[in-house]
Structures are given as structure tokens and as C-alpha cells.
Structure 1
Amino acid sequence: MARIADLVAYPLKSNDGVALDRAELGPAGALRGDRTYALVEAGVDPHEASVGGNGGYVNGKSEPAVHGLRASYEIAGPADATPTAVTLSRPARPETGVDADERTFALPDEGDALAAWVGDYLGYAVDLVREPDGGFPDDRAARGPTVISRATLETVAGWFDGVADATEMCRRLRPSVVVDDCPAFWEDRLFADRGEAVRFAAGDAELLGVNPCQRCVVPSRNPDTGEEIDGFRETFIENRRATLPDWTESDPFDHDFRLMVNTVVPEERWGSTVAVGDEVTIEGVEPLDEAAY
């Protein structure tokens, strides 16, 4: 029986996560507090910007220097990762004339100071934006937690000499939920054909798996240094195809650079909780109106 092994929220989008023992599924279904804050280029509307790396978000897709930032958090509660303060550290960056530094910022009161401090490090002005109801996920349609298995992380880490272990691969892929006691690529059972969803339960929550996550350049980069693995995409695609389980084949899996599952949480399940150790059970495939998510 698959079980939740890890829950991770990312209170400041594109920065370090925080491990949770349990988490509430907040508005729109994300782990409460996940990606509540994000950095964008100054003046950019985060709701109009693209998350794909060329649309104004200051993330690992568009700004490799983000990988040099380290973050730790004070959070609102044991099941609520909304940050009340964040401690950021940055390395020296001669090209922007800043020294190594560490500062703690209370949130939301010191958001402007945080943005100015990060902007000094990057060499251009940025804004810190806040969205308490659902955060700033990459997939704005499927806003529930992303799911992957520990066995998958271990397997994929083994494809690359430059990846130390499953823990590092988890930091590269940035899932919200890691499940254990199941085989590699088990999470591919959590999506079906287009127009369908796979309903699954954990704790008192029910989620709908809707599609396999399309990957980007971020997993190819060392999460601490930003150093990129040459040929990462090609190696990934070759090995993904070679190890593809029979249960993965479906309409949404239209190319091999996909890993992890995006989910939707039905509105009636917002406010439910999931916890480390919860069993994860697949309840079945059901129709899904794609226009609704």
C-alpha cells in the first residue's frame, strides 16, 4: 500500500522548501502556504506573467542566480506553511557588486525590503508578490499538490552521474507529495486519458490526478550552484522511454520529458488534511470536464 513519505511546501516560489508532518489543502487545493509568495521583475503582474521562463517571474527557468539563494522559514502553523518570516542568505556576486549576506524578513511587513535585497543580488529591480488563496503554481489549471514516488526519485537520480541521490533529485523536481511503499513510476497510475481524472484518497482528502508534469530546464541544474548537467534532457528522455511502464501510456503522456503528476482538489475537499504516513488509495477513473480546470 502506497503511503505519504514526505510533504514539502515552497512558501517562496523557486526557493527552498519546508518539510511538513501534515498539511491542510487550502483554497484551490494547494498545500496551505505553498508558493504564497513569488518574486517577479519590477512592475510585472504575476497573474498575467508566464511561468515558462520568459514572462517576468524570477525563477530558475529565467534566472540561474536564484539557485544561489538559500531560504528557511517561520510558518503560520504545523499544517500551514504560510511564511510569517523568511531568512535568506546569498553568496557574494561580483558581477552585481554584492557581498555574501544573510537577513531575516518579517512577512508581509518587510516584503519591500526583501525585494530590494534580492534585487541588489540579481542586479535588477524585483517585486515580492503575494497570493494567499492558492499561491502561484506553475500549472494554474491543476493547482493541487504534485505527486511522485520515492522509488521514482531514486531511479531517475541513478540516470545521472551528477546527481547525488533521491534527496537531491527531489530538490531538483520540487514535488509537494512524495509517496513510498510502491514501485518506480507508480504515480503514473494517477492520470488517465484526456477528459478523465483518477480519483485517489489520502487521509481525509480526495484528489484528482489529471496530467503528467512537463519538465523544464530546472531539474538539469544543481539546486545549490545552478551548474547544468550537459545533455540532461536527452539522457532523461532516453531512459524514461526505456523504463516506461505499461500503465503510463495515455493521451496526456504525449512526449517523454514528463515526470510527476499534477492534481486538482475538488472544492468540497478544500480544508481537508494529508499527513506523512497516510495511505494513498486509488478509487477509480471518472470523467473530467477539462474546461473546469
Structure 2
Amino acid sequence: MNNIIPFVSKLFIYPIKALDGVEVESVRILNSGALQFDREFAIVDESGNFVNGKSNQRVHAIRSRFDLNNNTVTVSAPKFAEVTFHIKDERKAFEGWLSEYFGFPVQIKQNLDMGFPDDTVSPGPTIISTATLEAVASWYPQLDVEEVRLRFRSNIEISSVPAFWEDCLFTEANQTVDFQIGDVKFIGVNPCQRCVVVTRNTQTGTQLPNFQKTFVVQRRQTLPKWSNKSRFNHFFRLAVNTRIPTSEEAKLISIDDKIHILP
């Protein structure tokens, strides 16, 4: 393992929580340690609750393309024609489109400081390896690597490592692993707990029977020797949650950046 030099092979941000991601060449770090533009917007109902895959599986059928330079989002859905909105100047119209689609009033909220991560304690990017995605895809004859990638929605994908290498980036509870991507310092926290979203088809929301049961069995059986088993109170965990110190604000993470675990 010591002669492995992982590198960043893909970068993804998800400008609107629960909608499609954008693949980018580089991304800037915010003061909070989150990635700029990642989950910057969220769809919420009248009670302020997120409208996402956990709460409403109809979100899976929305296709979206986000233009970061022009602040526009192009959306479509079954029986809804494709339309483009300026996410700031035409937010009310976009909210109207979404409200009609879901059948109840929704709003778009924005958070420029941290976005809307699931884990506000560790709002840094999630990390997974290509080999891990390939391994998980091999557990399901119905799935290919791209579908698995879309299901798990990680921010940073790394290559030149074996499956589950990213499990090196966390250790015992109440301890962390310090590492660096390019010149950005990271803190590896814990293996990411998964939810019902990853069990569903990313285009239709249809659930794959026994997805979680198969995953748990395979994850347990393939857990590598470098994984800290004590961090798995259950095995429905994949990818690594991180934090980034405030000292790294405004630095960039880019494709081909090397990853080094710090002493």
C-alpha cells in the first residue's frame, strides 16, 4: 500500500440538493470546508423540510443540467417539457415548475456558506475510489459502474488504488486521519452511512429488490484489512466523510491532484 499514489480522477458537485450533479475540472474550498456550489440550493416544502430522495422518490425522475457560469438550470420530467430557469432571477418561476411537478408548494433555499450537506459536522467532500464503484457494480448484475456512481453521489473519485482504499482515510472513533489532496489539507472522519436513495434507480426511483441486503453481506465479506471494523456498527456504509480546516479556504482541488496521507 505504501507505494500507491492515488490521484483525483473525477470531481462532482451537486448545485441543487437531490438533483443531478455537474462534473468539473476543479473546485474551490469554502470557509466552512464545503465545496463551492455543492448543495448550494435545496428544495423545501412549506414546513421547511427537504424535498429529496429520502422524502419523495419522484425527485429521481427530474433531469437537470446546471450551467455554473450563467447560473441557469435546465429541467425536465415525465409529462413536463424541458425548460431553463435562471436560478436567481427566475427562482419564483422555477419554484412554480417544481410545485406543479410535486403537487404541493415548494421553495428553493440557498446557503452560500456551507450549502445543505447531510452531515453539517463534516461538510467536506465525500471521497470514493473508481475501483470501489466497480466492485459494488459487480455485486449487482442489473447495474453498471455509471449507475452505481450516480447512486452514491460522491464528490471526489480517486484512481490508481484498489477497491475500498478510501477506508484508509478514517480510523477509530474520536480519532481522525490527516491527508492532503494537492495542497489542500483534509481530515478523514468516518465511513458514510447510506440511506434508501442508493437502493433506487437514479432515473425512475424504482427500488432494486434486496439491494441493501446484498450490499451489507458483500461489504462485510470484502472489508479490507486496512478498514477499521470498529467504525462499522452496520455495513451499509460507503465512501468517506471529511472536514477541511478553515486554513484551506479558497484553495482549489483539481483533476490529477495527488493524495497523500500525512504522518
Paired letter, 2:177? V
Paired letter, 2:205? G
1:279 equivalent to 2:258? Answer yes
How far, CA to CA, are the matches of 1:206 and 1:168 in structure 2?
30
So what's the TM-score if we normalise by structure 2? 0.96
1:178 equivalent to 2:165? Answer no
Instruction: Give identity over the alignment, percent.
Output: 40
Confirm or deny: 8 A CA contact 2:128 2:158 kept in the other structure: yes
Paired letter, 2:111? E
Paired letter, 1:125? P
Cα deviation, residue 28, structure 1 = 1.1
Secondary structure at 1:236's aligned position in 2?
helix
Confirm or deny: 8 A CA contact 2:31 2:248 kept in the other structure: no
1:84 equivalent to 2:71? Answer yes
Superposed CA deviations along residues 48-86 of structure 1, whole A, max 9, x for unmatched, are: xxxxxxxx211011111101101111114xxxxxx7111
1:19 equivalent to 2:23? Answer yes
Consecutive unaligned residues of structure 1, counting only runs of 5 or more, are: 45-55, 77-82, 93-99, 285-293
Paired letter, 1:246? K
Superposed CA deviations along residues 259-281 of structure 1, whole A, max 9, x for unmatched, are: 00000001111211111101111
How far, CA to CA, are the matches of 1:91 and 1:239 in structure 2?
35
Confirm or deny: 8 A CA contact 2:87 2:94 kept in the other structure: no
How many positions carry a matched residue from both structures? 259
Q: Which residue of 2 aligns with 1:168?
A: 147
How far, CA to CA, are the matches of 2:241 and 2:219 in structure 1?
18
Confirm or deny: 8 A CA contact 1:192 1:250 kept in the other structure: no
Secondary structure at 2:230's aligned position in 1?
coil
CA-atom RMSD in angstroms: 1.1
Paired letter, 1:146? T
How far, CA to CA, are the matches of 1:67 and 1:105 in structure 2?
19
Paired letter, 2:190? N
Q: Which residue of 2 aligns with 1:66?
A: 59
Q: Which residue of 1 aligns with 2:94?
A: 114
Paired letter, 1:87? T
Structure ranking higher on relative contact order (CA contacts 8 Å, 6+ apart): 2
So what's the TM-score if we normalise by structure 1? 0.86
Confirm or deny: 8 A CA contact 2:170 2:228 kept in the other structure: no
1:150 equivalent to 2:130? Answer yes
Secondary structure at 2:116's aligned position in 1?
coil
Paired letter, 1:63? N
Q: Which residue of 2 aligns with 1:197?
A: 176
Q: Which residue of 1 aligns with 2:10?
A: 6
Q: Which residue of 2 aligns with 1:244?
A: 223
2:113 to 127, 133, 154: 133
Consecutive unaligned residues of structure 2, counting only runs of 5 or more, are: none
How far, CA to CA, are the matches of 2:57 and 2:137 in structure 1?
21
Q: Which residue of 2 aligns with 1:75?
A: 68
Superposed CA deviations along residues 71-115 of structure 1, whole A, max 9, x for unmatched, are: 111114xxxxxx7111111112xxxxxxx2111111212112111
